[in-house]
Amino acid sequence: MRLSFDRTLYAGSAIDQALQAFASVATSVRSETETAFVVELSLRAEAAPASAARRLRRIALELGNHALGLTIERGGPDR
């Protein structure tokens, strides 16, 4: 699953910290574009295909929430 985090809303360091927090359940590769931090996210443990898709979507949503919370704690996105 590909996630895109808008640079005007998220701190790159917060995304990195969130990825570390979820490393036990998902693998990730982070890259950057001019306007976004991009994450390729995959489940670590395989589950049944239907439940795997739901689980990955839930992890992606929670990861985004965690990264946003960490960004807010830091006082906002990178400048």
- Domain assignment present for 53: yes
pLDDT above 90: residue 51? no
- Domain assignment present for 78: no
Exposure b/e, 11-30, CB count within 10 A at least 16 = b? bbebbbbbbeebeeebebee
- Domain assignment present for 79: no
**pTM across the whole model:** 0.89
Q: Are 70 and 17 in contact (CB under 8 A)?
A: yes
- Domain assignment present for 46: yes
**For the chain, what percent of residues have pLDDT higher than 70?**
94
Give the residue numbers spanning the domain of 68. 2-73
The number of distinct structural domains making up the chain is 1
- Domain assignment present for 36: yes
Per-residue pLDDT, averaged over 59-76, amounts to 97
What pLDDT is stored for residue 46 in this prediction? 67
Kindly report, residue by residue over 4-18, the tens digit of the pLDDT.
999 999 999 999 999
- Residues 35/68/55/40 CA torsion (nearest 10 deg): 30
